[in-house]
């Protein structure tokens, strides 16, 4: 059976979200959002919770972003005290603020540095050591040499987001490069980028010959996606999701992400960030998205949800996002981190 993984997403793939995803059908692997590594960094407590309190029954990899081998290896030693499945290195974050520090996607400009880092991390990871990369920075000239480093340092699993750093999130995904990675490295590869449905996963697996798929935004939109993948991979038709199921998902997500310290309005705003993706499959006109964005209290939010999801509760939730229903129009250049949900759309 091909592998499935939930893509690491900052401000999303925390303990609560992983728990909610598991309720609908957990992927084989989880990855934390990235731990920032620099001279004064300590593993962030809220990210550690997604490892220490993980009750999903599925392994969680701890993702690191950084470039200094001393600081990276020090952080690995700290993380090894926690029940991690392994260490994952981020070679893809496209936020200018990040890549200008030569970390994340910025490292793809410097294959020698990547080789040094992979060597240093491999030496201190007694268990699994994995890498998540984009296919290049501005172009793909360093692609092959990064793959060589992956082989040289015996990386255990490689996730490839088939875009360059400069392509951010909205260009076509270059699945041909993912196929080249799968053919060129000794470890299993996870294909990542715009895997919108179980059928798309199956077609990408067929064309890239990867060992599995990694899914991000479309798991926020449709948390049943991993279960649907497994159903399709084993020859059964994928579960149909109805609008009433989506109402239940939103309620569950609201409760799971609610904490006493967060004021209601801020929590509603956080919900809107997830719902930006969910709304892409509710109606073809984007009417749910439009109404949802104008709410400012729990009551208003759930009134909009019941109006759009419970009037015709048996109506199917679209498997693919509706064309033209954009989570956010101004998403090409996220100003701060790749990680603010509102800046990123399919
Ligand atoms: C909100 C958000 C936050 C992200 N944060 C991270 C991150 O912390 N680490 C990482 O490697 N990739 C991060 N990514 C990139 C995703 O892991 C993934 O590579 C990308 O979204 C493409 O996959 P998708 O089309 O399935 O969403 C983030 C993406 C989004 C949308």
HEC string of the chain?
CCEEEECCCCCCCCHHHHHHHHHHHCCCEEECCCEECCCCCCCCHHHHHHHHCCCCCCCEEEEEECCCHHHHHHHHHHHCCCCCCEEEEEECCCCHHHHCCCCHHHHHHCHHHHHHHHHHHHHHCCCEEEEEEEEECCCCCCHHHHHHHHHHCCCCEEEEEEEEHHHCCCCCCCHHHHHHHHHHCCCCEEEECCCCCHHHHHHHHHHHCCCEEEECHHHHHCCCHHHHHHHHHCCCCCCCCEHHHHHHHHHHHHHHHCCCCCCHHHHHHHHHHHHHHHHHHCCCCCHHHHHHHCCCCHHHHHHHHHHHHCCCCCCECCCCCCCCCCCCCCCCCCCCCCCCHHHCCC
Q: How many CA atoms lie within 13 A of 80 on its CB side?
A: 13
101 and 44: one domain? yes
Per-residue tokens: 121: 């991390």
CATH code where residue 13 lies: 3.20.20.70
Question: Is 238 within the bounds of a domain?
Answer: no
**Last residue of some domain: 173, 205, 233?**
233
Same domain flag for 172 and 294:
no
CA gap 7, 136 in Å, rounded = 19
Which residue's entry shows tokens 């948390």? 223
Residues 81, 161, single domain; the answer is: yes
- 227 and 247 in a single domain? The answer is no
Sign of the Cα pseudo-torsion (196, 199, 200, 205, in order): positive
* Residue 63 near ligand 1, beta carbon < 6 Å: yes
Residue whose CA is at the smallest distance from ligand 1 atom 23: 193
Burial class (CB in 10 A: 0-12, 13-18, 19+), 260: exposed
Are residues 61 and 121 both part of a single domain? yes
Closest Cα to atom 10 of ligand 1: 8
**Is the pLDDT assigned to residue 340 strictly greater than 70?**
no
Determine if ligand 1 sits within 6 Å of the CB of residue 195. Answer: yes
Q: Does residue 313 sit in the same domain as residue 216?
A: no
**Ligand 1: distance of its center to the CA of 216 in Å?**
6
Structure tokens at 218: 């479309």
Local confidence band at 346 (pLDDT 50, 70, 90 cut-offs): very low
Q: Which atom of ligand 1 is nearest to the CA of 192?
A: 23
Residues 264 and 200 in one domain: no
C-alpha 114: how far from its chain's center? Answer: 22
How many whole angstroms from 249 Cα to the centroid of ligand 1? 21
For the chain, what is the domain count?
Answer: 2
Asked whether residue 108 is assigned to any structural domain, the reply reads: yes
> Does ligand 1 lie within 6 Å of residue 31's CB atom?
no
pLDDT of 214 reads 98
- For 213-245, the pLDDT digits (tens) are 999 999 999 999 999 999 999 999 999 999 999
- Residue 156 CA to ligand 1 centre (angstroms): 20
Query: Which residues constitute the domain of residue 274?
Result: 243-343
Residue 6 has pLDDT above 60, yes or no: yes
Kindly tell me if the per-residue pLDDT of 316 is higher than 60.
yes
Q: How confident is the model at residue 328 (pLDDT cuts 50, 70, 90)?
A: low
What's the gap in Å between 311 CA and the centre of ligand 1?
33
**Ligand 1: does its nearest atom lie under 6 Å from the Cβ of 147?**
no
Check pocket membership of 9 for ligand 1, CB cut-off 6 A. yes
**pLDDT tens for each residue of 116-167:** 999 999 999 999 999 999 999 999 999 999 999 999 999 999 999 999 999 9
Q: Among residues 93, 229, 331, 339, which one is catalytic? A: 93
Is the same domain home to 35 and 161?
Answer: yes
Point out the domain boundary residue: 233, 267, 297. Answer: 233
Q: How far is the CA of 291 from the centre of ligand 1 (A)?
A: 26
* CB-ligand 1 contact for 67 (6 Å cutoff): no
Choose among 114, 67, 68, 64: nearest CA to 84: 64
Model confidence, pTM: 0.95
Q: Is there a catalytic annotation at residue 93?
A: yes
In a domain, 41, yes or no: yes
Q: Is residue 318 located within the same domain as residue 203? A: no
206, 233, 260 - which closes a domain: 233
Q: Same domain for 226 and 300?
A: no
Q: How far apart are CA 21 and CA 84, in angstroms?
A: 19
Say if residue 323's pLDDT is above 50: yes
Confidence of residue 324 (pLDDT cuts 50, 70, 90): confident
Residues 90 and 225 in one domain: yes
């Amino acid at each position: 059976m091909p592998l499935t993984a939930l893509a690491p997403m900052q401000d999303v793939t925390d303990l609560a979200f992983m728990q909610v995803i598991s309720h609908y059908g957990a992927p084989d692997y989880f990855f934390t959002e990235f731990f920032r590594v620099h001279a004064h960094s300590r593993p962030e407590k809220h990210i550690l919770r997604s490892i220490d309190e993980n009750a999903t029954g599925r392994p969680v990899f701890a993702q690191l972003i950084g470039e200094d081998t001393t600081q990276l290896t020090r952080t690995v030693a700290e993380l090894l005290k926690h029940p991690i499945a392994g260490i994952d290195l981020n070679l893809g974050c496209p936020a200018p603020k990040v890549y200008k520090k030569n970390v994340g996607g910025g490292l793809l400009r410097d294959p020698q540095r990547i080789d040094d880092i992979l060597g240093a991390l491999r030496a201190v990871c007694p268990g699994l050591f994995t890498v998540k990369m984009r296919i290049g920075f501005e172009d793909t000239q360093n692609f092959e040499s990064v793959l060589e480093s992956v082989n040289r340092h015996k990386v255990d699993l490689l996730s490839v987001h088939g875009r360059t750093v400069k392509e951010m999130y909205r260009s076509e995904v270059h699945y041909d490069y993912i196929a080249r990675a799968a053919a060129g490295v000794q470890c299993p590869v996870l294909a990542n980028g715009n895997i919108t449905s179980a059928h798309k996963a199956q077609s990408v697996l067929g064309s890239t010959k990867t060992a599995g798929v990694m899914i991000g935004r479309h798991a926020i939109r449709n948390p049943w996606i991993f279960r649907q993948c497994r159903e399709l991979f084993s020859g059964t038709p994928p579960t149909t999701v109805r609008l009433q199921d989506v109402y239940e998902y939103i309620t569950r997500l609201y409760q799971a992400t609610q904490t006493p310290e967060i004021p209601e309005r801020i929590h509603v705003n956080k919900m809107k960030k997830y719902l930006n993706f969910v709304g892409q499959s509710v109606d073809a006109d984007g009417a749910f998205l439009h109404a949802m964005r104008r709410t400012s209290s729990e009551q208003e939010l759930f009134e909009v949800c019941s109006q759009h999801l419970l009037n015709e509760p048996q109506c199917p939730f679209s498997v693919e996002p509706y064309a033209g229903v954009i989570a956010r129009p101004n998403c090409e250049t996220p100003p701060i981190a790749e990680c603010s949900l509102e800046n990123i759309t399919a």
